[in-house]
């Protein structure tokens, strides 16, 4: 292509058709690339928010409570996101249920038989249902025994807790709620029947109890917010 002569307009010999974008050839690749970049950025933003929340929760825990790994707290935050509840509520509920986040704790009858065990005090029947129904999707050991379950770490027990909350949220007709109160979150453990019936007196009592527990474990008050149905 020669130089333009002064005073004479430059005339391109390239046709517009040479720049026609072939959507069938390149469009899907471009669309996929844009989608992947958007998804990566969204995932990065979500991960950054979760890490920030983990740091916030760790810094608020009182020094006298048992130390928690960042992995455990992160899994609690992610579980709370799936359940649509507050991670502060989950931490408080499990703290109370397990006597300080003790995954090996049990409740026994007078004959010494284990009735409930672990972070959320699951019974044998619930454990069997969860470990069978969610063995593939949550990578759980199918038909795990209570004795095996009690030997799991806090972090691993949370995978079983996730299955339980998913199942009970559906059973209690809470699956369409965008945000669960502390009472509803704990109610799925304490009494699914009353929670499903939306017994306000029962749920509000639980919410107040969760607030008292949070005052024990957090340096600052972290009040639960009751969300109206």
134-190 pLDDT, tens digit per residue, is: 999 999 999 999 999 999 999 999 999 999 999 999 999 999 899 999 999 999 999
How far is C-alpha 214 from the geometric centre of its chain's CA atoms? 19
Question: Over the chain, what is the mean pLDDT?
Answer: 87
Separation CA 88–CA 1 (nearest Å): 69
Q: What is the pLDDT of residue 229?
A: 40
| Residues 6 or more apart in contact with residue 2 via CB below 8 angstroms | none
CB 119 within 8 A of CB 154: yes
Give the pLDDT band of residue 46 (cuts 50, 70, 90): confident
pLDDT of residue 227 exceeding 60, the answer is: no
CB 121 within 8 A of CB 98: yes
The predicted model scores a pTM of 0.78
| Residues 6 or more apart in contact with residue 96 via CB below 8 angstroms | 209, 213
Write out the E strands in the chain. 106-108, 114-117
Separation CA 206–CA 214 (nearest Å): 12
Boundaries of every domain in the chain: 29-95+152-217
Per DSSP, 18 falls in state G
pLDDT of residue 222 exceeding 50, the answer is: no
């Amino acid at each position: 292509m020669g130089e333009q002569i002064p005073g004479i307009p430059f005339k391109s010999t390239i046709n517009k058709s040479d720049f026609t974008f072939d959507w069938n050839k390149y469009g899907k690749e471009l669309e996929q690339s844009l989608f992947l970049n958007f998804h990566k950025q969204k995932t990065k933003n979500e991960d950054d928010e979760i890490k920030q929340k983990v740091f916030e929760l760790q810094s608020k825990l009182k020094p006298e409570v048992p130390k928690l790994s960042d992995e455990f707290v992160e899994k609690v935050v992610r579980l709370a996101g799936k359940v649509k509840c507050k991670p502060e509520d989950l931490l408080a509920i499990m703290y109370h249920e397990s006597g300080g986040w003790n995954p090996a704790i049990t409740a026994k009858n007078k004959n010494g038989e284990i009735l409930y065990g672990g972070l959320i005090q699951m019974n044998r029947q619930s454990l069997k249902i969860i470990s069978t129904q969610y063995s593939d999707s949550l990578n759980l050991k199918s038909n795990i025994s209570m004795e095996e379950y009690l030997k799991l770490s806090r972090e691993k027990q949370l995978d079983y807790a996730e299955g339980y909350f998913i199942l009970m949220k559906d059973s209690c007709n809470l699956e369409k709620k965008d945000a669960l109160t502390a009472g509803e979150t704990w109610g799925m453990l304490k009494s699914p029947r009353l929670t499903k019936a939306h017994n306000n007196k029962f749920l509000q009592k639980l919410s107040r109890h969760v607030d008292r527990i949070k005052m024990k474990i957090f340096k600052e008050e972290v009040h639960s917010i009751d969300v109206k149905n």
